[in-house]
Structure 1
Amino acid sequence: MEKGHQIFGIRAIIEAIQAGKEIDKVFIQKDAQGELMKDLMKVMKRASVNFSYVPVEKLNKLTPNNHQGAVATIAPVSFHNLETLVETVMDSGKTPLFLILDQISDARNFGAIIRTAECTGVNGIIIQKQGAAPVNGDTVKTSAGAVFNVPICKVEHIKDAIFHLQGSGIKTIAATEKTDQNIYDLSLNEPIAIIMGSEDRGVNPSVLKIVDEKAKLPMFGTIASLNVSVACGAFLYETVRQRS
């Protein structure tokens, strides 16, 4: 059954996926079994639907209804096609600025990043279907509604998106501490895509191997790490400063 931005019940979720509904994420009860659950797993994998295993308490919190061990969240926004978006932005005459989020999993961090992206004129945000934060109520709230103004693309693999951007003449820059290069020493006046990594691991090492540039923010404190949304804001506003 469907209610608001949720679908609960295994059969209802299967039917929604097969009907092409924009499912953001499916939460599956950890110990759930049965033939119908196996069917759901097959359908999700075939459609590359983002899912995770959670305790039954999490599902009970999501919905008071009989969920049968599965609750799906429906994205409140429509996702864009990457190739079409890149082509549109390149033809617009403006200097492209894209943001790639490499498996950022916290919905509030995601929302805060979207809000800053909207304020700094980001042309599009690229996320991976698997492992990314859900586009849910928390995201909408934290983004202050900016989620409806910034195009978001969901891709199968971040690396393929990077190759496509590079092939379109867009320089890719990874935010990472694994470099001696400071963000303030880079020219950001050309078409660029900034890659921000996950909260705990940073940008994936396999992604770092294929980017055009790596850059870090100077650190003077003892903690030596920033919240990802704050770091993202610093990178985006340095881009704005250089382009103003």
Structure 2
Amino acid sequence: MRKLKNSELGRLNVEDFKKTAKIPLIVVLDNIRSLNNIGSVFRTSDAFLIEKIYLCGITAQPPHKEIHKTALGATESVNWEYVEDTLELVKNLKKENVIVCSIEQAENSTMLQDFSIESHKKYAIVMGNEVKGVQQEVVSASDFCIEIPQFGTKHSLNISVSTGVVLWDLFKKFNF
């Protein structure tokens, strides 16, 4: 086995990435305080061809050197928009027939491995604040609450890790 060189990876340039078909999935960042987490979500969203990222509330916006440090240029490739109020955004997405899923530990949540998608529908996942999680009013307004199963002594994952786990799972379910 030999590691591939960067030139052998067949990576898209930003212009080609923007023209490439995306999976019908939106990421909503609800009051994320860590600039490194924001950058990581951009980078992971680029990897899995996510349609758009919404940055809400206190979530910082590019350009910012701390976001750039982990995004590695993904803020240029992934479509994004700032919206102040997460709940208003969720209501508007639902009016556009987007299925909104909060990623949270909650009563009657659906475990990620049990969550099924309809391939002809568009979805949005809401990722919450590192300490408080997704706002309760946003959870209540969501169509689904998806939970990542955990089996150790800790009951949480870092937001960038959670986003990566969920995006990979949904990417596979879209059969892209």
Task: Indicate the TM-score class for this superposition, using the shorter chain for normalisation.
Answer: 0.7 to 0.9
Q: Distance in 1 between matches of 2:81 and 2:131?
A: 23
Q: Distance in 2 between matches of 1:147 and 1:127?
A: 12
1:243 Cα deviation after fit: 1.3
Question: Is 2:60 the counterpart of 1:133?
Answer: yes
User: Residue 218 of structure 1 aligns to a residue in which SS?
Assistant: coil
Offset from partner CA, 1:62-102 (integer Å, 9 cap, x none): xxxxxxxxxxxxxxxxxxxxxxxxxxxxxx98652100000
RMSD, matched Cα = 1.7
**Alignment size in residue pairs:** 152
Segment of structure 1 superposing worse, 132-141 or 223-232: 132-141
Question: Is 2:142 the counterpart of 1:211?
Answer: yes
Q: Which runs of 5+ in 2 are unaligned?
A: 1-19
- Of structures 1 and 2, the one scoring higher in RCO (CA 8 A, sep 6+) is 2
Q: Which residue number in structure 1 is paired with residue 114 of structure 2?
A: 185
Q: Distance in 2 between matches of 1:94 and 1:203?
A: 25
Q: Which residue number in structure 2 is paired with residue 4 of structure 1?
A: none
CA distance change for structure 1 residues 169 and 93 in 2, over 3 Å: closer, same or farther? farther
Bigger radius of gyration among the two: 1
Q: Choose from 151, 154, 157 the match for 1:220.
A: 151
Offset from partner CA, 1:17-69 (integer Å, 9 cap, x none): xxxxxxxxxxxxxxxxxxxxxxxxxxxxxxxxxxxxxxxxxxxxxxxxxxxxx
Q: Choose from 91, 96, 105 the match for 1:163.
A: 91
Which AA in structure 2 matches 1:238? Answer: D
Offset from partner CA, 1:91-144 (integer Å, 9 cap, x none): x9865210000000100011011100111111110112x411343111112011
Q: Which residue number in structure 1 is paired with residue 47 of structure 2?
A: 119
- The aligned runs of 1:103-114 (5 Å cut-off) are 103-114=31-42
Q: Distance in 2 between matches of 1:94 and 1:124?
A: 9
CA distance change for structure 1 residues 168 and 134 in 2, over 3 Å: closer, same or farther? closer
Residues 23 and 50, structure 2, Cα contact 8 Å, conserved in 1: no
Q: Distance in 1 between matches of 2:59 and 2:74?
A: 18
Q: Which residue number in structure 2 is paired with residue 152 of structure 1?
A: 80
Q: Which runs of 5+ in 1 are unaligned?
A: 1-91
Offset from partner CA, 1:164-213 (integer Å, 9 cap, x none): 11111110000001134201211233310000001011000111110100
Aligned identity (percent) is 28
Q: Distance in 1 between matches of 2:169 and 2:30?
A: 20
Which AA in structure 2 matches 1:232? Answer: T
